[in-house]
Amino acid sequence: MTDNVQQAPKVRKKFKFRLTRRAFSYPYILFLMIFVVVPLVLILVNAFIYDGAFSFQNFADFFNVGTSKGLSVLWKSIVIGLMTTVICLIIGYPLALILSKMKAGKLLILFFMLPMWINFLIRTLATKAIFDAMGVTLGMGTVIFGMVYNYLPFMIMPLYNSISNIDKSYSEAALDLGADKMTVLVKTILPLSFPGILSGITMVFIPAISTFAITEILSDRQIYLFGDSIQNMFSQNMYGVGSVMSLVMLVLVLISNLILNRFGAKDESGSVVL
């Protein structure tokens, strides 16, 4: 006796697309791979290729003090970046402190961010037009002014957020203990706002040492910083030396971040002395 067993038809599972958090990350990962990872790999490869072969000649050409001006330009860029950062901090901290004590501080801080909505090239060209109309000679002074003008909001914002988040009871307690306003500022507000200072320094110093358009426009191509040199190397098809300079800039940025983060970690573990 034979029984014909009829198999039940297989039910196809319907594909259900679930919109999870991981799905939102895929376009960003693809963007990073194409526009960040791939260019970095190309720069790394070009740095070690000379006349079609693996060589350290590009590094030798850059670090040769007698024939290369790259190191002097790098040092000049660091000095100008430090000057820009210090000026932005001197201007930005008192301004952020005043705005944090005002009821309309959040509204007023918006006016300092409005220029950031305009492309920085347009702002820099407008600054040059003002200098030309006033008869100001373009040079180092105009370059530093332009860099402070462009990067000052990046110093004000983290300082304002850091100072605004400080509990007012600390200052009130210091005043009740007999401290004057200057002592409260130096020993209470300043240490508590140190993370905002570190964030502002990072956001100003790193782009300041790598800028190229501001110096080219506001110095009438008289002053060249490290970013200008990298751009010139690539425009002259000297990809090897240009890639080495890009790697040097990348290492410098990483070192700056590590130093600032280490100081920030030490500050968070410390205490405020009244």
The three-class DSSP label of residue 53 is strand
**Residue 8, pLDDT above cutoff 60:** no
Q: What is the pLDDT of residues 25-78, one digit of tens each?
A: 888 899 999 998 999 999 999 999 988 888 898 888 888 755 567 788 888 889
CATH number listed for the domain at residues 57-269: 1.10.3720.10
The neighbouring-strand residues paired with 50 are 53
- Take residue 58 and report the two structure tokens written for it: 């590009």
DSSP strands (E only) in the chain: 49-50, 53-54
The predicted structure's pLDDT at residue 87: 96
**Which positions ≥6 away from 69 have C-beta within 8 Å?**
229
Domain spans in the chain, listed from the N-terminal domain onward: 57-269
Q: How far apart are CA 190 and CA 269, in angstroms?
A: 15
Q: What is the pLDDT of residues 117-169, one digit of tens each?
A: 888 889 999 999 999 999 999 989 999 999 999 999 999 999 999 999 888 88
**Residue 19, pLDDT above cutoff 50:** yes
Q: What is the pLDDT of residues 168-214, one digit of tens each?
A: 888 888 888 888 888 888 888 888 898 889 889 988 988 888 888 88
The predicted structure's pLDDT at residue 168: 85
The predicted structure's pLDDT at residue 180: 86
Query: Which helix (H) or strand (E) element contains residue 90?
Result: helix 70-100
Residue 264 or residue 148, greater confidence: 148
The predicted structure's pLDDT at residue 26: 85
The predicted structure's pLDDT at residue 85: 94
Q: How far apart are CA 93 and CA 118, in angstroms?
A: 24
**Which positions ≥6 away from 232 have C-beta within 8 Å?**
224
Q: How far apart are CA 196 and CA 93, in angstroms?
A: 10
Reported confidence tier of residue 233, pLDDT bands at 50, 70, 90: confident
- Take residue 34 and report the two structure tokens written for it: 């194409």
Nearest to 226 by CA among 100, 86, 73, 96: 73
pTM of the full structure? 0.80
The neighbouring-strand residues paired with 53 are 50
**Residue 101, pLDDT above cutoff 90:** no
**Residue 259, pLDDT above cutoff 50:** yes
The stretch 84-103 carries a mean pLDDT of: 92
Q: How far apart are CA 92 and CA 154, in angstroms?
A: 9
The predicted structure's pLDDT at residue 4: 52
